Structure 1
Amino acid sequence: MERRTAVDRLVRGLARMHLALALVPLLFLAAALARAAGAGFTPAPDDYPRVRYRPGPAADVVLATWRQAGIDPADRVVAVWGLADAGREPEPDGPGLGTALRLAEAGARLRLCDPRLAGRTLDLPAGGRTEVEADPWSALDGATDLLLDSDLPLFAGADPDRLAAALPPGGGVFDCLEALDGPALRDRGLAWFPVGGPGWPPWLDPDFRAFADRLRDELPADARLLLWPERPPVPSPRGRWYLLLAYELAPRAVLLPEPELASGTAVQYRQWVRRLGSGFDRSPAAARAVAEKEGATHLLRFVPRADFRAEDWRLEEVRR
């Protein structure tokens, strides 16, 4: 009996020790949470890493951009800077080469540049072949667009003046890493497109926040605002800035063509992109007709993009 009691005491002692040890991590967690709560948390764009698209989605962005502008890929000659990241071999499903091959499948012609592969001849999807060049500026000869989907230091920060001289006015610069000076390229007449995007939540975008603040000041609380896309929507769900505007502008009513699809799941959003594609009537007359039917007091025309640009949005009052 005494032996059993001693064993019981030992078991109870071990159980208490186990419980005490189990509580130690919880105490550390509680202390960390209390410290974090005391310090506060204010999210900022710099807290989030940039998102880089895989080759398939990256090529989709380029093709959708051309489609928005009514451009046939067969009419484009794309200079591709870098066929793989530093320290990597080119792969058909990897950055650089993978993105370029998908553009070639759609009909675009390629001029490839990668000093590591200079002189090598690569097969293209349509049956053609092209030689890889060493000099990035030589690859721009005759090009209508530039694709940068490689982190090779050689290409980062390329001279905007030299790029503007090498590409035709309005030529597309598709920058998958934001390694180029986009605003400077736009100032020089090129169409710079950051492919991919910031990793921070879109509602932290400083341009969007400033624009939403301005609309709140300009629109009365009982306003009915019709948002009207002037071009086909982009496939990236990040282009749904209208959802954030609807939240920011409450209690004002925000109207949109086929709102159930526009504000639904990712699958529904893709359906909305197709519905509002090339067959959708985006004319000013169609916008006015919908505004009158819905009783809209204001019309907000916009160019759909994955990145927010205040100049893409134009507010006007509906006059009857």
Structure 2
Amino acid sequence: MKEDIIQLSIPTPFAVGDVHAYVLKGEAVTLVDCGPMTIEAQQAFVTQLKQHHLCIEDIDQVVLTHHHADHVGLLDMMKPEIRVLGHQVNEPYISRDPQFMQRQIDFMDTYFQQLGVPLHQNECERIVKQSYTYSCTAHLDSVLKEGDRIKGHEHFLVVETPGHAQSHLSFLDEVTGNFIGGDLLLTTISSNPLMEAPDEGQERQKSLIQYKKSLHRLLTWPIKTIYPGHGQLITSHHELIKERFKKQEKRAHTIYQLLQRKEMTAFHLCRTLFPVLYEEALFLTMSETVGQLDVLKAAGQIEEIEKDGILYYQAN
């Protein structure tokens, strides 16, 4: 059954600008993502629902593309009877599980020191807690995984597309070729595959490697239009993905050339690549740098050497 996708554009306090939420009206009224928990976002959300002759009480379920605050914060506006569905990784983030938050802080504190980052006191705690500023305190009612269908919209196939976030899901309408892609592919910026604390006893996921695999999967699906989390609708995703790969390859090559001259820590590389931005966006720029180092290591182009607890990188 063909159904319309209603786009809601909700303001955020972030540089990326508005975030898009989507309403599906089929056998159920489903909201895909919502927006950050700010007064401006709340007002825009309610107003735009009203423009489409809807209100919060009409929503049966909320489906999440991923756990970032600009996509989940307004869950705190939802009534208890509105079900929340998403990847299982969402749960500790949207519930603000205190043990999980402490594990994030501990991981970042340890790993950033290994990467050569000169940390100020409580810097990692500040970065982690800041990421929850506009988020929610909610819970998943049901878990979605690869191959599932959205209840009430069974023509929408659930696909796991990790990279930007470990919780990232996308939704392919197999009837129309419409694809609700969250932050998987955006027109205005390249999505940053972010570092995340691994499960206890597990290794850190290589986010950029995952992200590139997810983009490669996009090339294999019969997609006509991508409905993204930010920016314009995308109707030429093959060309855009090629641009993204080219940009990533260029940055990886830049890092490789730097490491041919001398060995460097990840932080030294980060500061070289982003001489101004790294100070105000340390986590984002370090995530990008570490991602590229993961790619170069996997390709056998560089090696990682530990000296006195600090990781150094050099070209092979």
TM-score, normalized by length of structure 2?
A: 0.24
Q: Higher strand share goes to which structure?
A: 2
TM-score, normalized by length of structure 1?
A: 0.24
Q: Higher helix share goes to which structure?
A: 1
Of structures 1 and 2, the larger Rg is shown by 1
